């Protein structure tokens, strides 16, 4: 388990540790790599799990999640990654609802979710496979994906 293993390292040491992890991976060792650095997570991971307030909101192949995020929180995270091919713009995903029911009964992301519906406040979504190996915990996206095909 590597929990934020390179977060406080200088650049040269960081590269050395990443090379070591790559070597271990090539030898068949599995590594649980915990990070807040999305770019690094994509670079080093085959599979990704996205958590919000300790709950899994999306999981699957890293390429799939990064290319086509399904959960609104994952989308917001991916949109927050700075791109060098354009100017940084102001994006606002701030939705504030009463958080009275969030977490206890409903979806943990309900107070901030831009696509929340009534069911989201009442019932926590289950982690649902919406395409082969790609799971999301979202009433709206799981329902839309399963009814679309």
User: In whole angstroms, what is the distance from residue 39 CA to residue 48 CA?
Assistant: 12
At residue 146, the pLDDT reads: 46
Task: Tell me the per-residue pLDDT of 25-37, one tens digit each, with 9 for 90 and over.
Answer: 899 999 898 998 8
Look at residues 122, 121, 115 and name the one whose alpha carbon lies nearest to residue 143: 115
Q: How many CB atoms lie within 10 A of CB 147?
A: 7
Q: Is it the case that residue 55 has pLDDT exceeding 70? A: yes
SS3 content of the chain, % helix, strand, coil (to 5): 35, 15, 45
At residue 143, the pLDDT reads: 82
3-class SS at 128?
A: strand
> Across all residues in the chain, what is the average pLDDT?
85
At residue 42, the pLDDT reads: 87
Task: Tell me the per-residue pLDDT of 96-107, one tens digit each, with 9 for 90 and over.
Answer: 555 554 446 789
- With beta carbons less than 8 A apart as the criterion, state whether 120 and 42 touch: no
At residue 59, the pLDDT reads: 97
Task: Tell me the per-residue pLDDT of 124-149, one tens digit each, with 9 for 90 and over.
Answer: 999 999 999 999 999 999 985 544 44
Binned at pLDDT 50, 70 and 90, residue 44 comes out as: confident
At residue 56, the pLDDT reads: 97
Q: Is it the case that residue 70 has pLDDT exceeding 70? A: yes
């Amino acid at each position: 388990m590597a929990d934020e293993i390179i977060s406080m390292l200088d650049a040269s040491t960081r590269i050395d540790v990443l090379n070591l992890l790559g070597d271990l991976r090539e030898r068949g060792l599995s590594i649980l790599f915990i990070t807040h650095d999305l770019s690094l997570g994509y670079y080093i991971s085959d599979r990704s799990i996205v958590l919000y307030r300790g709950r899994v909101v999306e999981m699957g192949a890293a390429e799939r999640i990064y290319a086509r995020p399904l959960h609104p929180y994952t989308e917001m995270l991916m949109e927050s990654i700075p791109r060098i091919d354009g100017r940084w713009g102001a994006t606002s995903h701030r939705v504030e609802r009463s958080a009275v029911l969030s977490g206890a009964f409903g979806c943990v992301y309900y107070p901030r979710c831009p696509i929340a519906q009534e069911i989201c406040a009442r019932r926590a979504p289950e982690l649902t496979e919406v395409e082969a190996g790609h799971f999301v915990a979202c009433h709206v996206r799981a329902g839309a994906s399963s009814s679309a095909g």
